[in-house]
């Protein structure tokens, strides 16, 4: 089947069948711009919008289709645009809180199996950023791999790997150079023919260069030149899916300037499982790791087995998660208040209706 090379598998096929809609066809979102979607279906690429009904039903931003999603669309031979009716449930979703005041999740990447978290080894390497990305990756349901790019600019790669190992326990760490190609085969080992991978990280760390290297063509560069500004320079502004010649699908994503947490704490426990394990040894189950006797965390901080910096990162991310939870509660309460008010109004209207 043609769609298999785009990651279509039995799981999605089953989900599609469950819709029970013979009039619709499955497709994957390759590209999105202002809610116009470029899909790939059995018959190739199609442009699509979303149905009015879908738009009406969707209340949260994260429920709209995004790049990587599998959707069910209605082909229309006469119109030049197909219509998306459903988004299939995602097997993974990398979320962040959207920028600005609203407490809403934004999906950065959907249905990714392995996420490469890219940092550059050219200077200001930031362990805190790696921890934050890792937490969000664990939260997403995708398998994280840390990629340390620009190894050609680094004098002591082993030292850099050691530093990252301390903040990424149990996660593969791959030093590479997108310029020389050194280490790229270790990245390829993590890309299975049936799977989708994504490169995430700040702008300028070399995500596009890595994607180009993996694709082994100038496919993307060609698009870049067309979309780039007059100086021919280009920065990725949209996520986009590409089929890898050797098998598998890769997503290029725009650089994320800020990554505000969207988490229920699950990802934190996984990203900091060293701390979770330590705290299991505290004398009190509900130890707050403050001044309690027999606190394993305090002990580890004192004897240096737990770095103060790492503990601070953990505490910071935890307080961000708590803050988010508070905002979500507040929003839920407001929504409930609004619902009750509307209900009361409705009842009043019904009561006041003249009897016939």
Sheet holding 173-175, edge to edge: 173-175, 143-149, 114-120, 196-200, 249-252, 240-243
- Site stretch for ligand GDP (CB under 6 A), options 16-24, 177-185, 302-310, 328-336: 177-185
Query: Looking at 38, 92, 177, 270, which residue binds ligand GDP (CB under 6 A)?
Result: 177
179 binds, among ligand GDP, Zn ion, none (CB under 5 to 8 A by kind): ligand GDP
Q: 27 by DSSP, 3-state: which?
A: strand
* Residues within window 15-74 making contact with ligand GDP, judged by CB under 6 A: none
- Site stretch for Zn ion (CB under 5 A), options 23-31, 190-198, 282-290, 307-315: 282-290
Query: Looking at 19, 79, 153, 222, which residue binds ligand GDP (CB under 6 A)?
Result: 153
User: What residue ranges in the chain does DSSP mark as E strands?
Assistant: 25-33, 36-41, 44-50, 70-74, 82-87, 93-97, 105-110, 114-120, 143-149, 173-175, 196-200, 240-243, 249-252
Distance CA 180, CA 161 (A): 19
Query: Looking at 38, 236, 239, 313, which residue binds ligand GDP (CB under 6 A)?
Result: 236
CB 327 to ligand GDP: min, Å? 30
Nearer to Zn ion, 121 or 275 (CB): 275
Nearer to ligand GDP, 173 or 306 (CB): 173
- Residue closest to ligand GDP (Cβ): 206
* Residues within window 99-128 making contact with Zn ion, judged by CB under 5 A: none
* Residues within window 288-307 making contact with Zn ion, judged by CB under 5 A: 289, 295, 297
If you compute the radius of gyration of the chain from its CA atoms, what whole number of angstroms results?
Answer: 24
CB 210 to ligand GDP: min, Å? 7
CB 221 to ligand GDP: min, Å? 11
CB 101 to ligand GDP: min, Å? 28
CA angle 200, 204, 208 (to 5 degrees): 60
Residues 25 and 19 sit within 8 Å (Cβ to Cβ)? no
CB half-sphere exposure, 198, CA atoms < 13 A = 30
* Joined tokens for residue 90: 């995602």
Nearer to ligand GDP, 26 or 120 (CB): 120
Q: How many residues bind ligand GDP (CB under 6 A)?
A: 17
CB 193 to ligand GDP: min, Å? 24
Distance CA 85, CA 153 (A): 49
User: Which DSSP helix (H) or strand (E) runs through 165?
Assistant: helix 157-167
297 binds, among ligand GDP, Zn ion, none (CB under 5 to 8 A by kind): Zn ion
Residues 153 and 183 sit within 8 Å (Cβ to Cβ)? no
* Residues within window 181-210 making contact with ligand GDP, judged by CB under 6 A: 203-209
Distance CA 316, CA 322 (A): 10
Phi, psi of 138 (to 5 degrees): -60, -40
Nearer to ligand GDP, 38 or 177 (CB): 177
Using CB under 6 A as the criterion, which residues of the chain lie in contact with ligand GDP when the complex forms? 149-150, 152-153, 177-179, 203-209, 235-236, 255
Q: Residues interacting with Zn ion, by CB under 5 A?
A: 282, 287, 289, 295, 297
């Amino acid at each position: 089947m043609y769609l298999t090379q785009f990651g279509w598998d039995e799981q999605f096929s089953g989900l599609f069948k469950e819709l029970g809609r013979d009039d619709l066809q499955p497709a994957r979102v390759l590209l999105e711009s202002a809610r116009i979607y470029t899909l790939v279906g059995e018959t190739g690429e199609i442009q699509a919008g979303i149905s009015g009904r879908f738009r009406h039903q969707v209340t949260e931003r994260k429920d709209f289709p995004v790049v990587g999603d599998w959707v069910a669309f209605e082909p229309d031979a006469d119109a030049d645009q197909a219509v998306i009716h459903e988004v299939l449930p995602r097997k993974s979703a990398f979320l962040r809180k959207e920028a600005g005041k609203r407490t809403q999740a934004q999906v950065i990447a959907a249905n990714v199996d392995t996420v490469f978290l890219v940092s550059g080894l050219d200077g200001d390497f930031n362990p805190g950023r790696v921890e934050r990305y890792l937490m969000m990756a664990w939260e997403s349901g995708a398998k994280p791999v840390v990629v340390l790019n620009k190894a050609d600019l680094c004098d002591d790669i082993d030292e850099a790997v050691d530093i990252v190992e301390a903040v990424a326990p149990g996660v593969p760490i791959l030093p590479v150079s997108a310029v020389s190609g050194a280490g790229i085969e270790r990245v390829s080992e993590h890309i299975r023919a049936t799977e989708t991978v994504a490169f995430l990280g700040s702008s300028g760390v070399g995500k596009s260069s890595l994607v180009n290297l993996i694709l082994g063509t100038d496919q993307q560069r060609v698009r870049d030149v067309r979309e780039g500004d007059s100086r021919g320079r280009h920065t990725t502004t949209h996520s986009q899916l590409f089929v890898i010649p050797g098998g598998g699908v890769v997503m290029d994503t725009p650089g994320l300037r800020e990554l505000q947490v969207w988490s229920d704490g699950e990802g934190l426990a996984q990203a900091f499982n060293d701390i979770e394990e330590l705290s299991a040894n505290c004398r009190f189950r509900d130890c707050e790791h403050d001044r309690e006797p027999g606190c394993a965390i305090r002990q580890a901080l004192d004897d240096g087995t737990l770095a103060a910096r790492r503990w601070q990162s953990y505490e910071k991310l935890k307080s961000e998660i708590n803050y988010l939870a508070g905002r979500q509660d507040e929003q839920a309460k407001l929504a409930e208040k609004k619902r009750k008010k509307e209900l009361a109004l409705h009842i009043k209207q019904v009561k006041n209706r003249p009897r016939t």
